[in-house]
């Protein structure tokens, strides 16, 4: 017994080695950020030359990221319960538990997806494989290194949910069931993330030029984007559906209640809430409880599948790469800017961390449509707010495109390439992802009456502001080199603040002029002028680059 515990502890200690490798691979792209400094003739810093320092930095960043996500995960797990704490009637324990589980599921899956791609693709255990270890110990160490990726996040969510249920119900049995439900939730989230990461890596690793493979890759990129987008919706939509959720969950007469009884995490929510104090008909709780047992069984199988998958990875058979023989070696040359744009699109859509940005147009369209669907008349204020909301998402795109360059940037810097081409490429891609917003608003303008026909130009002026904001953000990024996570966050915040300000100025110009003159014509004219001036300034700064 004692020796088994010692063996487990030793395996846990050794698992830090493959875990370090996974972390380093997933954060190695940070190195690319340091290399951007070369464009401003800063050259490489001493740190960038030192792989040991870089690895230590990567681990510190990973710990910081993991802790931050864990704290955030605990917060989102706790928030649904707080309404009850303050005596709100909107949210009962059933919906609080369900929402808490749903949101932590989303966050755990989202974080895991980012990390597991490295775990699946990296030969994370390659170093260990040279040591005289038994295969069982080797698999155990790999499993622990996998667990290390999500330990804080999962433990934080499970503990906070269990403690809150203990506080609200005071029932030991309810606490036990909540513990089981939280564990099931975490296992399912991690299994979904591992499955997605595996599929993504497998399909991207295949390469090949056949149309079938290209379509397959596109499908998986879209699936990837949809999953992440789904998580984003999961985070925001509960707050829209909250007021009616409790009613729907607890109404005994509705078919939808029955449906929720079969769905995780609602089945858990209904079961646990009823253990504290009966809130639904006994038949409803029984169905929910049986359904929950079903999910426990599913989680058991999912857990086994994960163990087998991790074992396969440790044996080096995680993802099989297939290669197609090229029929010819022909290449297509394009104009340099188009060549750069295509390269940007390819690398960012194949990078698990940035691929989801291609779902941005869909996300923006959904949000904007949601925002204006309920208005009978389209007012300037509605268009201003919806355009701004859509634009905010786009401001993340240039930074993501820069990060996606990763280490390959060092090669690009040896090509006869003007930095303006890089900025233009990323600005065009970012701006194009925003275009669906004005188009949706234009369609809405045809369907709904407007307070003034001229206000239809508002979103199109915002397109100019988005382009200017992207240029300013990238210029700022290229003009300096940051080292250390905190400095990088502050630096990123500065860029975002500049971006948001650029986006706000034309909108504020419209609002101020309208309140002074009460003239839509004049306000639209001034807004157009402000957007055009911003773009002119951005282009001027762009042209000053060597």
Q: Which residues bind another protein (CB under 8 A)?
A: 38, 41-46, 49, 121, 204-205, 207-209, 321, 323-326, 328-336, 338-340, 342-343, 346-347, 350-351, 406-408, 410-418, 546
Q: Which is nearer to another protein, 41 or 543 (CB)?
A: 41
Q: Please state the closest distance from residue 494 (CB atom) to another protein, in A.
A: 25
Name the residue with tokens 């639209």.
524
Q: Which is nearer to another protein, 332 or 543 (CB)?
A: 332
Q: Please state the closest distance from residue 143 (CB atom) to another protein, in A.
A: 25
Q: Which is nearer to another protein, 168 or 340 (CB)?
A: 340
Q: Which is nearer to another protein, 355 or 469 (CB)?
A: 355
Q: Please state the closest distance from residue 341 (CB atom) to another protein, in A.
A: 10
DSSP 333-390: ---HHHHHHHHHHHHHHSSTTTGGGGGHHHHHHHHHHHHHHT-SSB-HHHHHHHHHHH
What is the spatial distance between Cα 122 and Cα 110, in angstroms, rounded to a whole number? 19
Q: Which is nearer to another protein, 38 or 529 (CB)?
A: 38
Structure tokens at 393: 């998402």
What is the spatial distance between Cα 367 and Cα 370, in angstroms, rounded to a whole number? 5
What is the spatial distance between Cα 263 and Cα 99, in angstroms, rounded to a whole number? 12
Q: Please state the closest distance from residue 403 (CB atom) to another protein, in A.
A: 13
What is the spatial distance between Cα 374 and Cα 363, in angstroms, rounded to a whole number? 18
Q: Please state the closest distance from residue 34 (CB atom) to another protein, in A.
A: 12
Q: Which is nearer to another protein, 204 or 463 (CB)?
A: 204
Q: Please state the closest distance from residue 211 (CB atom) to another protein, in A.
A: 13
Q: Which residues pair with 378 in a beta bridge?
A: 450
Q: Which is nearer to another protein, 479 or 517 (CB)?
A: 479
List, in sequence order, the alpha helices (H) in 28-150: 30-35, 46-49, 51-85, 93-121, 126-129, 135-148
Q: What residues have CB less than 8 Å from 279, skipping those under 6 apart? A: 92, 93, 94, 250, 273
Q: Which is nearer to another protein, 121 or 424 (CB)?
A: 121
Q: Please state the closest distance from residue 283 (CB atom) to another protein, in A.
A: 53
Burial-class residue 496 by CB neighbours within 10 Å (0-12, 13-18, 19+): middle
Cα-flanking dihedrals φ and ψ of residue 451, to 5°? -70, -30
Q: Please state the closest distance from residue 443 (CB atom) to another protein, in A.
A: 35
Burial-class residue 13 by CB neighbours within 10 Å (0-12, 13-18, 19+): exposed
Q: Which is nearer to another protein, 343 or 448 (CB)?
A: 343
DSSP reduced 3-state for 399:
helix
* Omega before 256 within 30 of 0, i.e. cis: no
Helices and strands in the chain: count of H runs, count of E runs: 24, 0
What is the greatest pairwise CA distance in the chain? 83
Q: Please state the closest distance from residue 337 (CB atom) to another protein, in A.
A: 9
DSSP type of residue 378? B
DSSP type of residue 36? G
Q: Which is nearer to another protein, 39 or 107 (CB)?
A: 39
Q: Please state the closest distance from residue 63 (CB atom) to another protein, in A.
A: 25
Residue 161 and residue 60 in contact, taking contact as beta carbons nearer than 8 Å: no
Angle formed by the axes of helices 2-14 and 16-27, nearest 10°: 20
């Amino acid at each position: 017994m004692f020796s088994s515990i010692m063996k487990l502890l030793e395996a846990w200690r050794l698992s830090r080695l493959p875990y370090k490798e996974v972390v380093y691979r997933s954060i190695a792209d940070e190195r690319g950020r340091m290399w951007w400094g070369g464009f401003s003739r800063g050259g490489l810093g001493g740190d960038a030359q030192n792989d040991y320092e870089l690895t230590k930095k990567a681990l510190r960043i990973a710990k910081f990221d993991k802790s931050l996500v864990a704290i955030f995960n605990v917060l989102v797990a706790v928030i649904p319960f707080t309404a009850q704490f303050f005596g709100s009637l909107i949210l009962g324990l059933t919906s609080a538990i369900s929402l808490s589980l749903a949101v932590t599921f989303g966050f755990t899956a989202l974080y895991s997806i980012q990390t597991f791609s490295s775990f699946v693709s990296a030969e994370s255990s390659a170093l260990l494989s040279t040591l005289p270890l038994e295969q069982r110990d080797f698999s155990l160490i790999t499993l622990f290194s996998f667990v290390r990726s999500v330990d804080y996040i999962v433990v934080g969510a499970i503990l906070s949910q269990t403690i809150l249920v203990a506080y609200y119900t005071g029932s030991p049995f309810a606490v036990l069931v909540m513990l089981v439900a939280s564990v099931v939730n975490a296992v399912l989230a991690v299994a979904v993330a591992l499955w997605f990461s595996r599929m993504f890596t497998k399909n991207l690793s295949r390469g090949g030029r056949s149309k079938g493979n290209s379509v397959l890759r596109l499908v998986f990129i879209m699936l990837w984007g949809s999953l992440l987008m789904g998580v984003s919706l999961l985070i925001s939509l509960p707050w829209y559906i909250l007021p009616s959720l409790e009613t729907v969950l607890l109404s005994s007469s509705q078919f939808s209640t029955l449906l929720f009884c079969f769905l995780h995490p609602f089945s858990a929510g209904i079961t646990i809430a009823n253990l504290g104090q009966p809130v639904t008909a006994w038949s409803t709780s029984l169905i929910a409880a049986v359904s929950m047992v079903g999910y426990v069984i599913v989680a058991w199988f999912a857990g086994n599948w994960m163990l087998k998958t991790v074992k396969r990875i440790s044996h080096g058979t995680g993802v099989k790469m297939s290669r197609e023989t090229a029929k010819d070696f022909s290449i297509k040359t394009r104009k340099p800017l188009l060549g750069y744009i295509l390269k940007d699109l390819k690398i960012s859509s194949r990078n698990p961390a940035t691929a989801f940005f291609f779902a941005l147009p869909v996300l923006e369209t959904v949000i904007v449509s949601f925002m204006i669907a309920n208005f009978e008349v389209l007012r300037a204020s509605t268009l201003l707010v919806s355009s701004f909301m859509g634009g905010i998402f786009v401001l993340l795109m240039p930074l993501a495109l820069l990060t996606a360059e990763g280490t390959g940037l060092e090669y690009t810097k040896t090509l006869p390439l003007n930095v303006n081409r890089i900025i233009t490429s990323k600005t065009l891609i970012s701006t194009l992802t925003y275009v669906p917003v004005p188009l949706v608003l234009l369609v809405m303008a045809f369907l709904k009456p407007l307070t003034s026909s001229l206000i239809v130009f508002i979103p199109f002026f915002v397109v100019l502001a988005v382009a200017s904001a992207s240029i300013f953000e990238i210029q700022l990024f290229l003009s300096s080199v940051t080292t250390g996570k905190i400095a990088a966050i502050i630096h990123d915040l500065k860029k975002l603040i500049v971006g948001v300000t650029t986006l706000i100025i034309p909108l504020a110009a419209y609002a101020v002029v309208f309140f002074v003159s009460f003239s839509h014509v004049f306000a639209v004219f001034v807004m157009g002028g402000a957007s055009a001036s911003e773009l002119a300034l951005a282009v001027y700064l762009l042209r000053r680059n060597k």
